[in-house]
Structure 1
Amino acid sequence: MRLRGITVAEGLAKSTAQVFAVGLVMLLALLPARAHEMSPAIADITIGSERVEMEIILQGEAMVAGIDLSSITDTNNSPRADTYDALRALPPEVFADRLRDAFPELADGIRLSAGDTRLTPELEEAATSPAEGEDLPRQSRVVIAADLPDDDSDVTFGWAPEYGPIILRQIVEDLPEGEEAYSAFLGPGQTSVPLPRTGTAQVTVLESFVTYIGLGFTHIVPKGLDHILFVLGLFFFSRALRPLFYQVTTFTLAHTLTLALATLGIVSVPAAVVEPLIALSIAYVAIENIARPRLSRVRLAVVFVFGLLHGLGFASVLGDIGLSPGHFIASLVAFNVGVELGQIAVIVTAFFAITFWIGHKPWYRTVVVIPASALIGAMGLWWALERTIL
């Protein structure tokens, strides 16, 4: 059946495509980009002959509120978000008291062992720092300790999956030349390798490489909403493969450069500057998709500059996580590989969800590209305002 030169089937396809594309972008846009976003805990463990001590930087309000950090990276997405917000509204010293009161229950989830002996950690210190911004979580610091059995057994550490991921670093004095102290990223529920009381445990290059690939990937999917929207902005620029290839390659070269320079400490730009500019980069590529959808040297130059900004953003996250001291270069390369795989996943998903089916249609740009780009641009502008003024 044909109505005004358009078949009913084609009209249905147009409507479905528009709803799907716009709905996808709106779903991403409605998710909070930074507010209440959780980061991994960081723990330094010092093992002596008779006693083990740990200093842990953690998301205290989320743990006391009972939020499951194994599956939620933003507390706004938790059914216990109101409890978290109420705890976060407390003055730092008041919440530190609440954390001390809650520690006996939280300690049940800390799995500290020496050989086959389960250790009972005692809380020695607890403090909470003021928040750096209204949309950023506060960090709490706890110091715990436990006596070790007199059997020279190795120590292992892990904690309950709902406490989320943790970066564990072994503090060892007077290491032999050429050795690096143990450092590992433990996912929710994972346990460290056995840590000796003298010297340090070793992690292979391959183990470190695989771990940091996963960290880079998850920073894009699902955690990197602003980076996802930027990549989608590049994707919607043209349905042809060559413009997409040139843009993604330019973007990759740029963010790889600044990721390396910032991680090595050669370049440093405050997050307060980088984050609003990243938001503006999202808006720019989306607006250009609508106003001037032609690949040019100017477009590639702009993408390169924005890639430099995004690399600084990646470096900020990697700085929070830390690189494996013994495999610095391998960890840096692996993280970048993970980021690239995350970007490829976004592009492949968008291609097979939308463009593969209707990219050849004459109405693809009008029905899909322009509305989707408009929403991406609006979200970028909103984030820029949110990160500077609001």
Structure 2
Amino acid sequence: MVRFLLIPLILTLLRAKSTQALVIGFALLGGPALAHEVRPAVADFEIEDTSLSITVRLNAEAIIAGVNLSQVDDTNDSAQAEDYDTLRTLSDVALADAFKETWPAFADGLKLRAGDITLTPVLGKIDVIPEDNAENPRDTMVSLSAVLPPGGDPLQIGWDARFGSLVLRQGETVEAPFTGIVEPGALSPPLPRVGSFEETAGQNFMRYLISGFDHIIPKGLDHILFVLGLFFFSMQMRPLLIQVSAFTVAHTITLALATLGIVNIPGSIVEPLIALSIVYVAVENIFARRMTPWRPFVIFGFGLLHGLGFASVLGEFGLEPSRFIASLIAFNIGVEVGQLTVIALALLAVGLWFGQKDWYRARIAIPASVVIALIGAYWSFERVFL
């Protein structure tokens, strides 16, 4: 959200025709992503005859510290950053005890309903997942349950906006289990107590399309910078189309293969390589004035990596087996719309104003590529060594 709100400021800076302003704008855009970002919580639920059981994987330190996860992309940006860092030093057992003390406030923020009846959650087991690397956020598994009232009123699940987004997944006890993202402060659609959640093909398509777009804007800063690297290479339409087409075909392939489970490469390998891909395209922008024969093939290779990054989102979000192909296509379309939006914003910001100027490459394209390369280089180092 913070980066998205900075777009108008960056557009103003770009129109100033100042290299310094351009560098400042991209520094603002890139800054918040240089530390560990907030991730959505994931809740797996089961509906039984008389009870609802939920296991939530969440960032307990952020919840205890009172970080508003709907307003920040990184815990370092919150007013409670110091409290959060202090909680990060607790042992796993001490963190579980601290969450037990926070439970009443957390329970008040839960929204569990059966029709018009509000359900009372009961805390169960708390498991803090050990994390060897102190620089990575710990996951805490919180189990809770609620007694269902008589009758067949459908259930709705959600929580306060301050807890952020919630990936909601139903167990395999029904033929077509529900999976979806509940936005901060919202409630899930009504979930039947018996049988499967019914969603039209159009609703399912739009849900995955929006998720794909959201993964680019505002959450996919690394993908945004890569696309901007393609844009700043040349203002001519043919090179841009060749690059974007190669990138699109490639990430579509690996998105499908990874989602099907055919390809599985750890994020610890993929994420640094994605950062290096940003460095490569930006550096080549600085030194190459024309499309080299190998650049489309290199872009294709990098697209394969980015497709694996996109697949990590679907890994948490899940795909309904009965609509697997349609959901995958919808998500990919959402990604493409997001990428085209990035290019359109770049055109509006600099292309239409300065693209045909003699000084465009020297004053805008090269400085922008330098900043993109520096951000990518920092991410490469951070994702390998920090």
Whether the 8 Å CA contact 2:155–2:191 is kept in 1: the answer is yes
Match of 2:335 in 1: 339
When residues 326 and 140 of structure 1 are mapped into structure 2, their CA distance, relative to the original with a 3 A threshold, is: farther
When residues 329 and 13 of structure 1 are mapped into structure 2, their CA distance, relative to the original with a 3 A threshold, is: closer
Residues 1:151 and 2:148 aligned together: no
Structure 2, gaps ≥5 residues long: 1-12
Whether the 8 Å CA contact 1:114–1:156 is kept in 2: the answer is yes
Match of 2:301 in 1: 305
Q: Which deviations, in whole Å up to 9, do the C-alpha atoms of 1:276-311 show, x marking residues without a partner?
A: 111111111111111112113201011111111111
Amino acid corresponding to residue 149 of structure 1 in structure 2: P
Whether the 8 Å CA contact 2:213–2:335 is kept in 1: the answer is yes
Match of 1:105 in 2: 105
SS of the equivalent of 1:297 reads coil
Match of 1:352 in 2: 348
Structure 1 residue 22, shift from structure 2 partner: 2.0
Match of 1:371 in 2: 367
Distance 2:156 2:163 in 1: 17
Q: What TM-score do the two structures reach when normalised by structure 2? A: 0.92
Structure 1 residue 134, shift from structure 2 partner: 3.6
Distance 2:322 2:178 in 1: 8
Whether the 8 Å CA contact 2:166–2:181 is kept in 1: the answer is yes
Distance 1:246 1:164 in 2: 38
When residues 133 and 225 of structure 1 are mapped into structure 2, their CA distance, relative to the original with a 3 A threshold, is: farther
Whether the 8 Å CA contact 2:167–2:316 is kept in 1: the answer is no
Identify which of 225, 228, 233 aligns with 2:224: 228
Match of 1:204 in 2: 200
SS of the equivalent of 1:42 reads strand
Distance 1:134 1:45 in 2: 30
Match of 1:9 in 2: none
Greater CA drift, 68-77 or 118-127: 68-77
Amino acid corresponding to residue 87 of structure 2 in structure 1: L
Distance 2:121 2:56 in 1: 13
Identify which of 251, 270, 276 aligns with 1:274: 270
Greater CA drift, 86-95 or 98-107: 86-95
Whether the 8 Å CA contact 1:218–1:342 is kept in 2: the answer is yes
1:88-99 to structure 2, matched below 5 A, reads: 88-99=88-99
Distance 1:379 1:150 in 2: 56
Amino acid corresponding to residue 72 of structure 2 in structure 1: I
Amino acid corresponding to residue 232 of structure 1 in structure 2: L
Match of 2:79 in 1: 79
SS of the equivalent of 1:311 reads helix
Q: In terms of Rg, which structure is larger?
A: 1
Identify which of 280, 286, 290 aligns with 1:284: 280
Q: Which deviations, in whole Å up to 9, do the C-alpha atoms of 1:60-83 show, x marking residues without a partner?
A: 221221122223232122222222
Distance 2:43 2:273 in 1: 32
Whether the 8 Å CA contact 2:179–2:317 is kept in 1: the answer is no
Distance 1:351 1:161 in 2: 34
Distance 2:263 2:19 in 1: 42
Match of 1:8 in 2: none
List structure 1 segments (4+ residues) > 6 angstroms apart after TM superposition. 12-15
Greater CA drift, 305-314 or 205-214: 205-214
Distance 2:383 2:74 in 1: 17
Structure 1 residue 247, shift from structure 2 partner: 0.5
Match of 1:51 in 2: 51
Structure 1 residue 169, shift from structure 2 partner: 2.1
Residues 1:69 and 2:94 aligned together: no
Match of 2:5 in 1: none
Structure 1 residue 248, shift from structure 2 partner: 0.7
Whether the 8 Å CA contact 1:184–1:324 is kept in 2: the answer is no
Distance 2:122 2:199 in 1: 29
Q: How many residues are aligned here?
A: 374
Distance 1:279 1:13 in 2: 24
SS of the equivalent of 1:56 reads strand
Amino acid corresponding to residue 100 of structure 2 in structure 1: R
Distance 1:83 1:376 in 2: 32
Q: Which deviations, in whole Å up to 9, do the C-alpha atoms of 1:120-148 show, x marking residues without a partner?
A: 10101112112363443211111111112
Distance 1:44 1:296 in 2: 49
SS of the equivalent of 1:231 reads helix
Whether the 8 Å CA contact 1:229–1:376 is kept in 2: the answer is yes
Residues 1:241 and 2:237 aligned together: yes
Amino acid corresponding to residue 88 of structure 1 in structure 2: R
Residues 1:385 and 2:386 aligned together: no
Distance 2:362 2:16 in 1: 12
Distance 2:30 2:326 in 1: 34
Distance 1:268 1:385 in 2: 23
Distance 1:279 1:191 in 2: 36
Distance 1:255 1:19 in 2: 34
When residues 88 and 145 of structure 1 are mapped into structure 2, their CA distance, relative to the original with a 3 A threshold, is: same
When residues 171 and 120 of structure 1 are mapped into structure 2, their CA distance, relative to the original with a 3 A threshold, is: same
Whether the 8 Å CA contact 2:180–2:317 is kept in 1: the answer is no
Q: What root-mean-square deviation, in Å, do the aligned CA atoms of Structure 1 and Structure 2 show?
A: 1.9
Whether the 8 Å CA contact 1:154–1:197 is kept in 2: the answer is yes
Whether the 8 Å CA contact 1:29–1:379 is kept in 2: the answer is yes
- Identity of counterpart residues, as a percentage? 48
When residues 136 and 204 of structure 1 are mapped into structure 2, their CA distance, relative to the original with a 3 A threshold, is: farther
Greater CA drift, 230-239 or 215-224: 215-224
Distance 1:170 1:368 in 2: 49
Whether the 8 Å CA contact 1:37–1:136 is kept in 2: the answer is no
SS of the equivalent of 1:16 reads coil
